[in-house]
Chains A and B, each alone.
Chain A
Amino acid sequence: MDIGTGLALVGAGLAIGIAGLGTGVAQGQVGAAAVGATAEDPKMFGKGIVMMVLPETIVILGFVVAFLLMNK
């Protein structure tokens, strides 16, 4: 395995890892607010879930980038 491939693999790991962190931070805050809103009014559950899962796209983008790097 040459250095280039190794670096690409490190990059793939970083891409999904850091994207995951970003999602975690965002989702933590949205989730806390969503739980609060649901406690006040159970009807907010659906909207809360929608809001909460929005940041997940970040980690999916990370996954796609990692995937493209792995196949280089």
Chain B
Amino acid sequence: MLRPEEMTRAVVVGSMDSLDATIECLYELGIMHLIDFTKQDEEFKLGQPLPRASDSSQKLLKLRSMIRTLNIEEHEPSAKLHVKDIDKKIEHALVTLDVNTSSKAEARQKIQSLIREKEIEIKALEPFVTFGIPVEDYEGFDSIASFTGVCKKDPETALRSKIKGIEFFKEVRKGSIAVAVFVKNVDRLEASRILSEHNLQEVRLPKLVGQPADIVSKHHAEIKELQADLKRVESDIEHIRKQFADLIISSEEHLAIDVLKSETPLRIATSANAFVIDGWVPSSMLPDIKIALDTMCCGLAFIETVSPEKEEEPPVKLKNPKLVKPFEFFINLVSTPKYKEIDPTLILFITFPLFFGFMIGDVGFGLGLVALGAVMRMKLKRYPDLYRLGAIVLVGGLLASIFGLFVFAEAFGVPFHPPPQSPDEASWESVGNIPINPILDKMHDTKEMLAISLLAGWLHLTLGLVFGFVNSYHHSKKHALGKIAWMVILFGLFEEIMVIAGSATETSHFINSTVFAPIPSMITTLSGIKLSIPAIAFIVVGVLGLPVLEGPLAMTEVVGIFSNLVSYARLAALAVGKGAMALAFNSMLFPLIFDSGNIGIAIAGIVALFVTQMFFVFFLGALSAGIQAIRLNYVEFFLKFFEGGGTDFAPLSYERKYSIAKKQEA
């Protein structure tokens, strides 16, 4: 929590004989983040792939081409295959299967292209069927030029009036006119001009012999035969697919893992007789790796810890309890924290649902969100991001229900009891008496909600600055003190706001009489605004400290911290906005439903209410509350301390989904 997993720099060294076993062992454990070896010298060179690598990758290549031909990329094997079976079957299967599939695939392609060819020829010949001219007679004359094609307008009159001794054939079709024109060579240009004026699209006739009608009907018959052939080939391919898809997919996975392992030496240093694998290991896992190496490599390889150089940045593996883990989703969206930085996931786990719950604050919608989150958890395991988001929605919905039940006392935008300010408002009292009274009313206690929002903002921002202090303490004490200056300014600012609010809200009254009680309340009034002298003093001291600690440019950001604090007003703003929206729809549609006296109108009203509530209040409300809750963390909170840019912990490991390795057998 708050800190990532502690990492130790370690090297695994051993004799070349044990390289294979060591790599196997490291992949099985999946806890070593390898550092690629780059500095080659006379002694140590980059390793060579293990001997079996080229064989495996060749097989893999064949399998992958087969997967493409058989179109089984998405296939999920019904049962897991043991790697021993895979090794046994794949050798034989590859020889026959490869020949079989590739010849079938070739045949399929050939037939398909033949069919396409014939279809193109039919399409070209069809317009000219009625002319009764054999295809070979359309060209090949010395003194006659011919044009064949499709016109938009009929060119007959124009052609006959301009050119003497013309042979003209036409066939009126849907939206166009097929024409065949024969003219003397001297009239060629003129004919071409006239035809292009009539938008002639020339059609090149295929080089065939015979009447177009005969050719077309012959082609049709041939296509039918070809299609039957295609069907046969397809069914053969389908047969192969059914029989071997499981084996192919499982083997592909197994071989991919094998290639991954056997090419690992390309990333490590080897000499004639020894190898060195350099990397990071979670400190807590060191004993595991020691034991595993001892047992699997028979003492030929061992692990040593080394002290890292100062500028080396260990990879980051976030360490959070299981409940908090889904919230790492939000951290990954921005950037992985650096190794020495505080990991704010835990704070997100607390603040996000609180902010979200406060903004939604409705037991009806809250329970709806809980249900939505639960469905996402149960049904969407395949999509890891949505799966994690499901947990976030669930926790957020839970808090929204708690706020809705105990603080705002309302469900689906309708309060349990009408507020005393407007006793005629629709409420759940007409259904039954719920013995919970609201602590806050969204529409009437806006001031109180604003004060609560600002208090949350002050606490959240101060925590951000504390984290900022801790993060910068190691590399710059001055910078860390700068964070304290910001805290002092923020404290003054908050005190001033609370003094202005005075006893107008219970929150400000409470804060003034507890947090600010030890500070002497020296209040003057300047043009109608209450000013607290100690608060102003805090702000001035902080601002004066800034140029020394953070540089003169920091002075320009003083306004920024004010707008950061005010930014938390969105908590109240969204809650009020959502409440107002629900109230507006309810007060428009309830009279339709209950007072119209017409069952049709009442049903229409219920449908409209359902749609507006679902879409505007539930869906858009949850979306905007979610975005605002995370924004307050990302922008206001994170920018006080978070830099990010750490390297993700990516250990040597693999995922077996469709095959079983030796270890799992036992």
Q: Which A positions have Cβ atoms within 8 angstroms of B?
A: 45-47, 49-50, 53-54, 56-57, 60-61, 63-64, 67, 71
Contacts and interface: CB of A to CB of B under 8 A. Distances in A.
Contact of B569 (A46, A49, A60, A71): A60
Interface residues of B, number: 20
B660 interface: no
Contacts of A46: 332-335, 634
Contacts of A64: 450, 566, 569
B566 A53 contact: no
A57 B627 CA distance: 13
- Sorted from nearest, which 3 A-B pairs have the closest CB atoms? A46-B333, A46-B334, A53-B631
A60 B567 contact: yes
Contact of B570 (A47, A50, A56, A67): A56
A68 to B, nearest CB: 10
B79 interface: no
B211 interface: no
B631 A56 contact: yes
Contacts of A67: 446, 450
A50 B566 contact: no
B631 A49 contact: yes
Contacts, number: 47
B355 to A, nearest CB: 14
A71 B333 CA distance: 40
A50 to B, nearest CB: 5
Contacts of B219: none
A60 B634 contact: no
A48 B573 CA distance: 24
A63 B569 CA distance: 8
A67 B638 CA distance: 28
A22 B573 CA distance: 18
Contacts of B607: none
Contact of B333 (A49, A53, A57): A49
B189 interface: no
B563 interface: yes
A54 B635 contact: yes
A49 B634 contact: yes
Contact of B334 (A50, A54, A56, A60): A50
Contacts of B627: 49, 53
Nearest to B573: A63
Interface in B581-628: 627-628
B184 interface: no
Given A56-B631, A67-B446, 6 more contacts: A49-B627, A49-B631, A50-B635, A50-B638, A57-B567, A61-B563
A54 B333 CA distance: 17
Contact of A71 (B447, B630, B638): B447
A47 B639 CA distance: 12
A49 B638 CA distance: 13
Contacts of B563: 57, 61
A57 B447 contact: no
A61 B570 CA distance: 9
Contacts of B567: 56-57, 60
Contacts of A54: 635
A57 B566 contact: yes
A71 B505 CA distance: 13
11 contacts: A46-B333, A46-B634, A49-B627, A49-B630, A50-B635, A54-B635, A60-B566, A60-B570, A61-B563, A64-B450, A67-B450
A63 to B, nearest CB: 5
